[in-house]
Chains A and B, each alone.
Chain A
Amino acid sequence: AQSVTQPDIHITVSEGASLELRCNYSYGATPYLFWYVQSPGQGLQLLLKYFSGDTLVQGIKGFEAEFKRSQSSFNLRKPSVHWSDAAEYFCAVGARAQKLVFGQGTRLTINP
Chain B
Amino acid sequence: GAVVSQHPSRVICKSGTSVKIECRSLDFQATTMFWYRQFPKQSLMLMATSNEGSKATYEQGVEKDKFLINHASLTLSTLTVTSAHPEDSSFYICSVPRRGRGIWNTEAFFGQGTRLTVV
Contacts and interface: CB of A to CB of B under 8 A. Distances in A.
Contact of A51 (B32, B93, B95, B104): B104
Interface residues of A, number: 24
A99 B46 CA distance: 7
Given A43-B111, A94-B108, 7 more contacts: A32-B106, A41-B113, A43-B6, A51-B104, A96-B97, A100-B95, A105-B43
A96 B104 CA distance: 9
A8 B113 CA distance: 24
Interface in B97-119: 97-99, 103-104, 106-113, 115
Contacts of B111: 43
B13 to A, nearest CB: 18
11 contacts: A41-B91, A41-B113, A44-B93, A46-B109, A96-B106, A97-B97, A100-B34, A101-B46, A102-B44, A102-B45, A105-B43
Contacts of A98: 32, 34, 97, 108
A8 B80 CA distance: 34
Interface residues of B, number: 27
A90 interface: yes
A97 B43 contact: no
Interface of B: 4, 6, 32, 34, 42-46, 49, 91, 93, 95, 97-99, 103-104, 106-113, 115
A103 interface: yes
Contacts of B44: 44, 90, 100, 102
A41 B10 CA distance: 10
Nearest to A44: B110
B63 to A, nearest CB: 19
A60 to B, nearest CB: 12
B43 A52 contact: no
